Structure 1
Amino acid sequence: MDKIINSLRPKRIIWPILIGMGVSGYLLFRNFDSDTFSFITFSWKLVYYLFLAFLMMAVRDVSYMYRIIVLTNNRLSWKQAFNVIMLWE
């Protein structure tokens, strides 16, 4: 167990995250065109559909958690299933 904990030093976790975010930021910045987003208008309809999208994501994650709990014959708690799904995603 100590070997696993020692291998998870913050330096080993932060560098891949920073590299990934840097590459993603570069790719987005390189292809960014502000005229593409000019047609989006802020309205209550937009807020409604964004809320609906986040709600559906939450329902999907809760369904995955329930699936993991059932597949493990209730050996995992809801918190453990949540951790599995967050690592999975």
Structure 2
Amino acid sequence: MAERFVAVDDLVVEDLEGDMCLLRLDTSDVLVMNQTAADVWVLAADGTPADEIVRILTDHYQCSPADITDQVTSVLNDFVARGFLVPPS
């Protein structure tokens, strides 16, 4: 899972009173995220590989990698499916 994702161009990221919001200017698609998804977004958009995101969030939330790997993968796949992240080539 050592993949690096890239945030798409024409993207606005806003903090809305504790929730993070993504807005694609080219499609007007909006995504409001909870704190955990926002943590995944910040790390992924910064170029952190998926396996490192799992390690960081495992330490942060004090859980096992088995508990969080599927969730991180699901969130990353959702970001890609919605067009907010470009998957690794």
TM-score, normalising length from structure 2?
Answer: 0.25
The structure that is helix-richer by fraction is 1
TM-score, normalising length from structure 1?
Answer: 0.25
Structure of higher CA gyration radius: 1
The structure that is strand-richer by fraction is 2
